[in-house]
């Protein structure tokens, strides 16, 4: 078994579930203009991921948006991961920088919109080769239906 899969085994599943997640600040306010804002946000995102059992592989905090590449367990939908990241980071940012409450009086730091894209570590061609090899192996063993 490939080593990348050994690292990502779950109850009765083996695999790799990696996602590109992106979201913006409400009204696209440029909240992260200072390095300290970006740093605090990044720390909060990593802490949220650790708390909820997934791994952030890469993270970029722009002036008014966030990009995260995360490896999620099979039991977690990408939408749930974004929801948890948004909630914990917003709460922490409001605590760390109370003046943000003046910009966001209703306590909503993040826009409701989001982008989610899956990231594959193998190409379509590799997947087809695997299926062909699996079919050939099953045919040789006399069990073409497996």
User: What pLDDT is attached to residue 46?
Assistant: 98
Question: 137 vs 129, which has greater pLDDT?
Answer: 129
User: What pLDDT is attached to residue 146?
Assistant: 45
**Terminal Cα-to-Cα distance of the chain (whole angstroms):** 18
User: What pLDDT is attached to residue 30?
Assistant: 94
DSSP-derived pairing of the beta strands 18-24 and 55-61 = unpaired
- The pLDDT tens digits for 4-60 are 555 666 667 776 788 999 999 999 999 999 999 999 999 999 999 999 999 999 999
User: Residue 30 in contact with residue 63, Cβ under 8 Å?
Assistant: yes
Q: Which strand (E) or helix (H) includes residue 133? A: helix 124-140
For 17-119, which CATH superfamily applies? Answer: Transposase IS200-like (3.30.70.1290)
Q: How far is CA 135 from CA 15, 122, 138, in A?
A: 20, 19, 5
pLDDT tier at 145 (50, 70, 90 boundaries)?
Answer: very low
DSSP code of 74? T
- The pLDDT tens digits for 55-96 are 999 999 999 999 999 999 888 999 999 999 999 999 999 999
d(CA 50, CA 56): 8
Question: 107 vs 1, which has greater pLDDT?
Answer: 107
- The pLDDT tens digits for 109-133 are 999 999 998 887 666 677 677 767 7
d(CA 34, CA 136): 58
Going by C-alpha positions, the residue among 107, 80, 103, 96 that lies closest to residue 21 is 80
User: What pLDDT is attached to residue 21?
Assistant: 94
DSSP-derived pairing of the beta strands 18-24 and 65-71 = antiparallel
């Amino acid at each position: 078994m490939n080593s990348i899969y050994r690292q990502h085994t779950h109850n009765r599943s083996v695999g790799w579930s990696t996602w590109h997640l992106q979201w913006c600040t409400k009204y696209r306010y440029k909240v992260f203009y200072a390095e300290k804002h970006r740093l605090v946000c990044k720390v909060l995102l990593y802490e949220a991921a650790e708390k909820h059992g997934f791994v952030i592989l890469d993270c970029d905090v722009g002036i008014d948006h966030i990009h995260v590449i995360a490896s999620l367990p099979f039991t977690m939908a990408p939408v749930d991961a974004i929801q948890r990241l948004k909630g914990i980071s917003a709460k922490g940012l409001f605590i760390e920088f109370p003046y943000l409450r003046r910009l966001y009086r209703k306590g909503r730091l993040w826009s409701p919109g989001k982008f989610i894209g899956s990231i594959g570590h193998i190409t379509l061609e590799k997947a087809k080769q695997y299926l062909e090899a699996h079919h050939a192996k099953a045919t040789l063993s006399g069990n073409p239906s497996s």
